[in-house]
Structures are given as structure tokens and as C-alpha cells.
Amino acid sequence: MNLPSYSQMIAAGALFFYLSAIFCAVDAIIRVRTAQGAIAWALSLLTIPYIALPLYLVFGRNKFDGYLEQREQIANETRDLLQRTHHALDEFLIDYSDELPLYNSLYNLSRTPSTRGNCLELLVNGQATFHSILEGLKTARDYILIEFYIIRDDELGSRFTRILSQKAREGVQVYLLYDEIGSRNFHRTRMCRQLIQTGVQVAAFNTTQGHRNRFQLNFRNHRKIVVVDGKQAWVGGHNIGDEYLGLSKRHGFWRDTHARLEGPAVLGVELAFATDWRWATRSTLDIRHQLEPPRRGDSDVLVFASDPASTLEEASLMFHQVIVEARYRIWIASPYFVPDRGIVSALQLAALRGVDVRLLIPDEPDGPVVGMANWAFTRELLPAGVKVYRYQGGFMHQKVLLMDNKVAGIGTANFDNRSFRLNFEITLLVHDQQFCGQVQDMLEDDIVNSRRVTREELAGKPLWFTFATGVARLFSPIL
């Protein structure tokens, strides 16, 4: 029996490689959610397969296999909880009505009911946010749920460690979940070891779990959640790290926003954490739920948790619907503004029908490609009358929206492809005129610290700059 020669082995390997690239090109055409992304992947796989194939295997898919099954399992498990608390929640549930058409249209996407009787506190910047969270953790008697995209073993991380460890020693059930890519070295830190030693249950979200996800690094759990005893919850843009207190030499002052929530809507935040914990550990949270949610305020809240496991692009549809619903104002603050064509068109049409459309983005974006893409979309939006402001008071990281004087959104989702299609995100949509007024005052202060981009400024940019923004825009489906 003759063994194959070295050249034959190389030829067979090359053939297998090209056939794999063709198979992945077909897969991209079928599965990639945007036409631009499908075309980009297919052409790359067919023309430069040796480069494109490994990249596609790692970054190509935007469907998170296995998670949907876990979410259905946790939904079945929590259905009993909702039934047991129905007598307590019934008076807080908001029925379909003409008064809240936005909530009606988003109900099927959110998978959680909107509730009345909530109270919210707007937390501006790191000092206010972490003071509120740390003081809230000290009040825990039964359980603490805490989930962040980034957790650093620094001075702020040490403050969290001391409180969480003490609570665990007191018998409080403490569950901590982190994204293994955003916090890729956290499992090796002194902070992580101390938390585990004192009884804190620590888990990585582990997006590479499951045989089909083994090489997928494209998904992130970008949620920032804290829940104490089912009575208080915190959601917003901050992670755990000294830079979020403005102590970074690179970024300087860090402009961000969080919100503290009390009332029946806390259960929606808790369910988002429970779903993530189920995926990460294959186990159900063993906690004593707060079964009698008291009325805390007058805010209607929809907890909107989005993820890449769903058939529909939940975050993108949510933002699109908010823009469409706007009658006289839509203000958006986002550090990463790289939207898809549908969002761009919705913003253009809103401005053309007379809505005050304002976008607030950083003047110094976190990355040159994202920065250039921002300029490309600014060039498209200005002619329609959209006002674009570039924040100059430091690095702006908040994810906030304000629609008319009716709905404010505080959460973790950016206006980019990653948040629309690849990340696990959570947003609090608040229907409360007084809270909207507070958000308006906050954003007006931010605009004072910003400069407005003009069409004359864009026209004065050199040719190379215009070309560079156009090239960056081509990468927008994968940024």
C-alpha cells in the first residue's frame, strides 16, 4: 500500500480548506442577519479563505446556540414563581391600552410584563452610582445577585470584595456572574479567590459553552445588574473598576449613568440574572424571592432584556420603535454609535417630520475605527436635521435615551451592531414624567459640555478623512 506523498497531503488539505470556506460562505449567506454582513463574509471567504475562514469560525455567527433552550427552561421554572406571586403582582401589571402603545408593541419582545408602582433614582457618574450600590449591598439580609461585564481587582473591586465577603459570612446568599471575555483574567485574581473562599458563588458566563460555541468569541454578556433581596436593583453603564470613578490616566473623567430601582419591576431584573446564571452553571438560583412587592412610587417600568439567542433582533427593534413613537423629541446618548440602516432611516425620518433628534457621542471615541464610523453616520444624519453633539468633558460611556416627555431609557445597550445582535443587554424603559424631567436636565448639562457638529465642519474635512470614514463605515456590520 502506497502512502500519500507530502504534496498530495498538502493538496488534500488545501481542498478541504477551500471546501470548508465555500460551506461557510453558504452558511453566511443563509444565517448572517444583515445583507452587508453576509456579502462581506461570503466575498472574503471565497477570495481570501486562508484569512477569512479562521475569522469566520471565531466571529462569524450571530446566533447563540443552546442559550434559547436554557432560557425556555428557566422560563418554565419561573412561571411557577409568577403564578405564586400573581396575587401580589396583579395590581401592578399594566394591561394593553392606548395610553402606552410603546409598551404594548414591545411586550412580546421583552418576555416580561410592564409594571406600575415603581420608584427610580437617577445616578449620575461613578461616585453616586457606587455609593448607592455599596450602601445597598450592606442592607442585604437574604441574597445578592451581581453581574458585570468587567470586574477589576483594584481599589473599587476591593471595596466590593469586603462587603460581599462579609455578607457571605453572615449567611447571605451571594451570586456573582462575570463575562469571561470582558473580565478574562478575573478567575486568576486575588479578589476572585477571596470571594470564593468566603462563600460567594462565582461563575463565568462562559459564552463558549457547548460544542457549537467552542470557538465563538463574538458574544458578550454586557449586562450590569445588582439585585438585593428582590427589593432593590441597579442597572446602567458602569462596570466595577477604578476608571469608572474617573481615575484612569487614559480616559480621565468618566461620564456615565446608572439607575436604582425599587418596586415590582425588580423581579424582571432578577429574572434576567436567573436566566444568565442558569446558562453559566446549569443550575437554578436557590433564593427566597420577595413575594410581596410593595408599591414604592408612580413609575411604570418595562425591563427589556435582549440577547442574541432570539429569532428577532430585540434591541434593534426596541430602539427603532422608540424612535418611531417619538412625536416631538428623541435624544440618544451612546459611546458607540454605529447603527444599522434601519436606525439611520428612522432617525432621518423623525427629524424630517419635525422631531427634535439629538445624538450625544464622545468627542474622543474608544477606538479609531469606531471614531471614523461615527463621522460617516454623522455625515448621513446632518442633512435631515439631526443634531449631533460630541461630548468634550471626558469619556462619555452612558447609554441613555429620552422620548418626548414620556419614556426614558437607562441601560447597557449601545447603538451599534454588537448591542443590536451579539450582546446580552438590559434596559429599563421608564414611563414617568418626573423621571423624564430629571433625565432631560442631565442630558442638557451634558450638551453644555459638548460641541455641535456642523455641515460646514464636515465639508472642511480633507479628502483622506472622508475616504477613511467611508472605509470605516464598511466595517460597521462587524464593529
Position 202 scores a pLDDT of 96
404 tagged catalytic: yes
Domain final residue, candidates 239, 263, 296: 296
Out of 399, 416, 431, 432, which one is annotated catalytic?
A: 399
Say whether both 184 and 82 belong to one domain: yes
Helices 35-47 and 49-59, interaxial angle, to 10°?
Answer: 140
Say whether both 416 and 368 belong to one domain: yes
Residue 302's Cβ-count burial label (10 Å; 0-12, 13-18, 19+) is: buried
For residue 257, CA distances in Å to 224, 246, 261, 334, 344 come to 12, 13, 13, 11, 24
Contact between 346 and 323 under an 8 Å Cβ cutoff? The reply is: yes
Say whether both 323 and 458 belong to one domain: yes
pLDDT tens-digit readout, 166-191: 999 999 999 999 998 889 889 999 99
Out of 404, 416, 432, 446, which one is annotated catalytic?
A: 404
Residue 277 in domain = yes
Residue 301 in domain = no
Position 25 scores a pLDDT of 73
* Joined grid coordinates for residue 35: 445583507
Say whether both 32 and 79 belong to one domain: no
340 tagged catalytic: no
Out of 397, 406, 416, 432, which one is annotated catalytic?
A: 397
298 tagged catalytic: no
Out of 224, 231, 238, 406, which one is annotated catalytic?
A: 224
Residue 400 in domain = yes
Say whether both 453 and 333 belong to one domain: yes
Residue 173 in domain = yes
Position 388 scores a pLDDT of 95
Say whether both 204 and 283 belong to one domain: yes
Position 225 scores a pLDDT of 97
| CATH number of the domain that residue 88 is part of | 3.30.870.10
Position 288 scores a pLDDT of 67
Position 473 scores a pLDDT of 65
How far apart, in whole angstroms, are the C-alpha atoms of residue 433 and residue 282?
41
Position 462 scores a pLDDT of 75
Say whether both 199 and 330 belong to one domain: no
Say whether both 214 and 126 belong to one domain: yes
Out of 153, 179, 229, 432, which one is annotated catalytic?
A: 229
Residues of the chain with pLDDT under 70: 1-6, 8-9, 13, 17, 30-37, 52-53, 55, 57-88, 96-101, 207-218, 288-295, 366-369, 371-372, 465, 467-479
Residue 102 in domain = no
Position 269 scores a pLDDT of 93
Position 371 scores a pLDDT of 65
Say whether both 285 and 318 belong to one domain: no
Residue 303 in domain = no
Residue 112 in domain = no
249 tagged catalytic: no
Torsion angles phi and psi, residue 238, rounded to 5: -75, 145
Contact between 475 and 336 under an 8 Å Cβ cutoff? The reply is: no
Residue 45 in domain = yes
Domain count, the chain: 3
* Joined grid coordinates for residue 139: 442592607
pLDDT tens-digit readout, 41-62: 777 777 777 776 676 766 665 5
289 tagged catalytic: no
Position 36 scores a pLDDT of 64
Say whether both 73 and 137 belong to one domain: yes
Position 367 scores a pLDDT of 66
397 tagged catalytic: yes
Say whether both 358 and 284 belong to one domain: no
Say whether both 54 and 83 belong to one domain: no
Residue range(s) defining the domain that contains residue 457: 314-478
Position 218 scores a pLDDT of 67
